[in-house]
Amino acid sequence: MQKLPETAVEYERIDGRKKDELRPITITRNFIRNAEGSVLIEMGNTKVICTAMVEEKVPHFLKGQKQGWITAEYEMLPGSTNTRKSRDRNRGKIDGRTMEIQRLIGRSLRSVMDLKKLGERTLWIDCDVIQADGGTRTAAITGAFIALHDALSGLLEKGVIKEMPITNFVAATSVGIHQGEIIMDLCYEEDSSAEVDMNMVMTEDGEIIEIQGTGEERPFKKEELQKLLILGEAGIKELIAFQKEKLSI
């Protein structure tokens, strides 16, 4: 008897999404009363509170230079993961991952700012992860931009600044290779078992701010890299369209 060919098993994502589909996104503006700009961003089960607060001074290295600064802090709260995450202050220092992410957030936002139009003041961006399911840094960047925009809009309306310092929109997403398939916006379970993991930060014009790509389980080819970049750019364009919708721009 002739053996029938085996039926190929179609790849299925853990949460039922298509390979090129973002997780459901929700952004709640003005989430924190005391901050000049604030949002709660939810990407699937990942939830991050992003605030932007204004300080009427700049770091010492910018004093007298007639320009402003943006700096970011990032933290995962103790209940954000399955097992309690100890606060950095209890360890006596900021861990390497936290430092890397908060520097990334700051770089990403400064890259789309004309800091001279801000004047000699600092915008503090705080991103606190209240629930983590992968993509916390990319959600933080995407949400922090809206908080930043709201804070600057407030300064503009009050006449504190004369022009909007933002020069472009910015957002971020993750892409990766999981079970041989190229996918977008990885949840934790996908990310933790991905062969290749990549975070991308881009402007609305398609300019790259940062790419963090790693072959976790194997090297990846240039052809795969190109596909990852194309998919990531498509996701970021979708996120920026969502940002504009929330900001009514």
Across 134-160, average pLDDT: 97
pLDDT tens column, 31-67: 999 999 999 999 999 999 999 999 999 999 999 898 9
pLDDT tens column, 175-206: 999 999 999 999 999 999 999 999 999 999 99
* pTM, entire model: 0.92
**Taking 60 as the threshold, does the pLDDT of residue 1 lie above it?**
no
Structural domain spans, the chain = 25-247
pLDDT bracket for residue 89 (50, 70, 90): confident
**Taking 50 as the threshold, does the pLDDT of residue 124 lie above it?**
yes
Binding region for phosphate: 97, 135-137
Binding region: 97, 135-137
pLDDT bracket for residue 113 (50, 70, 90): very high
Q: What's residue 32's pLDDT? A: 96
**Taking 50 as the threshold, does the pLDDT of residue 104 lie above it?**
yes
Q: What's residue 4's pLDDT? A: 44
Q: Which CATH entry fits the domain spanning 25-247: 3.30.1360.10, 3.40.50.1110, 3.40.50.720, 3.30.230.70?
A: 3.30.230.70
Across 123-142, average pLDDT: 97
Cβ-proximal residues to 204 (8 Å cutoff; 6+ apart), any chain: 168, 169, 170, 237, 240
Q: What's residue 5's pLDDT? A: 47
pLDDT bracket for residue 9 (50, 70, 90): low
